[in-house]
Structure 1
């Protein structure tokens, strides 16, 4: 599996992860991608293990919290579900600068949503912190008869960008938990474990002249 992207390129030392009042690390994950790719459905499936057939367009940004434990570390995942319509683009992009990770979605039954991934990647590179982590997510894998984007196409694009890749189905739940858990685990290992290994304990994780890591960016 590819390592997640470093959107800024070059050598980047990880930022500190913020710790909440209850001793859980706060991790901000943004859902981005074209409208109707199923971003809200993925969040609901992960957060509540439910799927609704009622389509509701996200206006601006919606927000949910989910407490998880990743390799023994309590983490509070803040799931920011952003609107995909162009008219909300400037609003949602204002949230990019605070993100720790992105789930960049496309619909495997919608070719334009896949073609637009490059534009979303450009926005992330321009506006997001240089050490954020990304997963490329091909959603609606249950619509096999309507598929127009092959699994290999998605995987190859993810490899080109140097990001993790998952195909998911919010309808069936396939790979949804695994995708979010994988992204959170990557963030935990890089932003907590590596920094603690450098001797920075407690809430000062990520601070001080740590080892910098070169991470891939194509384009």
Structure 2
């Protein structure tokens, strides 16, 4: 990828399937949790993880027209449609799937839907309104939207099906801190360990990147 694709500026589209913990029951040897970190370190590549069929369709169409190196990351399971709140799609531009003023939850890929469910639960149980963003493009990151979300000082949570190091969360935290933002911030991802074995849902619940886990983390962050 570094030499033959990116350095040579070849318009290769690398499509990854069953990423993250899609092959949950096969164990940690079959869990792909380091791709964002490895590829973000390479110059001249766009990194995209769609969250539903709408984003997937748009990403494939955009990939065909994209004349630069591109990495498309897909999971394995059927994902629910995220709704009509934002029907636009462009590489490098996050998609707001729910508007709120109390906190922001930024996710990508198959973690966007549990983030949306957690936001709905926050509203129903606590009367809190959370913005949910599908940050489908990891690189280039939508820093304009990120700063917009941070301006009112509200807490920010990032959620990803990736190792806690080198992914969406660290990309967002690095940019915001260097720009002088100090929002309460939490990265929800897979910790630095060999992952447990189980279904994708089991693993999400174990590491707290499920609906209930995100709800609890948001509640704790707001109460601190």
> Normalising TM by the smaller chain, what interval?
0.3 to 0.5
More helix by share: 2
TM-score, reference length from structure 1: 0.39
More strand by share: 1
